[in-house]
Amino acid sequence: MMGKFITFEGGDGVGKTTQATLLANALKTLGLKVKITREPGGNVIGEKIRNLMKSSSPSDMDPLCEALLMFAARRDHFVKLIKPLINKGYFVVCDRFYDSSLVYQGVLKKIAFEDIMALKKITIGDFEPDLTIILDVDSDVSIERLSTRKLILDEYDLMKKNEHDLIRKGFQKTAEIFSFRSVIVNAAGSEQKIFAKIMKIVQKRLLDILPSG
């Protein structure tokens, strides 16, 4: 049986990593084969590209260069890890995927939607997540979460409120464009309350079709 690919998207500080981890653990306790991963990163090449990106000042990096790096990392991640695991029946839970490129390199850095989609087509073809959970919360809440969570904030974390707002709107837009796979989840409130909503969505969309036993 083919596995499933579930992505978490949303701005910085919305709680993607926490919720992706809770979901991966819950799926494991159901006896499913599960792999949690992230972008940029997830494998050797991807993590190197992540470090390169995180260690460069965002203003130093040309936006198209940044987009190409993201898709280079994604290509490697996809062919070496994501696709083989799905073929082996794994539920792969990924913290960010190409919607993040549409929002960060597209909306924020002004690369045309069509250009990002062209890179997507070259690198991963028609592949799409089975489900994308978009965590959505007021920018003041995500900024507050970021400031209490990390001792050292990198430049990507130190965005101004108007950038957080743009990113939030960008993900609301990807939810509309890719409505066949996207669900927006209000990410205000306790971790457990948010997770209960996510689990319900996953049950309804993906687990109902699992053969019993």
User: Which positions touch ligand TYD (CB under 6 A)?
Assistant: 12, 17, 38-40, 70, 95-96, 100-101, 104-105, 156
Least distance from ligand TYD to the Cβ atom of residue 1, Å? 28
Least distance from ligand TYD to the Cβ atom of residue 169, Å? 15
In angstroms, the CA 88 to CA 98 distance is: 22
Least distance from ligand TYD to the Cβ atom of residue 140, Å? 18
Closest to 202 (Cα-Cα) out of 177, 179, 185, 178:
185
Least distance from ligand TYD to the Cβ atom of residue 48, Å? 14
Residue closer to ligand TYD (CB basis): 68 or 199: 68
Q: Is the dihedral of CA 91, 94, 95, 99 positive or negative?
A: negative
C-beta separation of 71 from 118 below 8 A: no
C-beta separation of 11 from 140 below 8 A: no
Residue closer to ligand TYD (CB basis): 34 or 94: 94
In angstroms, the CA 41 to CA 76 distance is: 10
In angstroms, the CA 57 to CA 42 distance is: 22
Residue closer to ligand TYD (CB basis): 3 or 40: 40
Residue closer to ligand TYD (CB basis): 53 or 202: 53
Least distance from ligand TYD to the Cβ atom of residue 203, Å? 26
Residue 94 bridge partners (DSSP): 7, 37
Cβ-proximal residue to ligand TYD, closest one: 104
| Largest CA-CA distance found in the chain, in angstroms, rounded | 53
Residue closer to ligand TYD (CB basis): 47 or 130: 47
Residue closer to ligand TYD (CB basis): 76 or 95: 95
Closest to 23 (Cα-Cα) out of 94, 83, 87:
94
Least distance from ligand TYD to the Cβ atom of residue 105, Å? 6
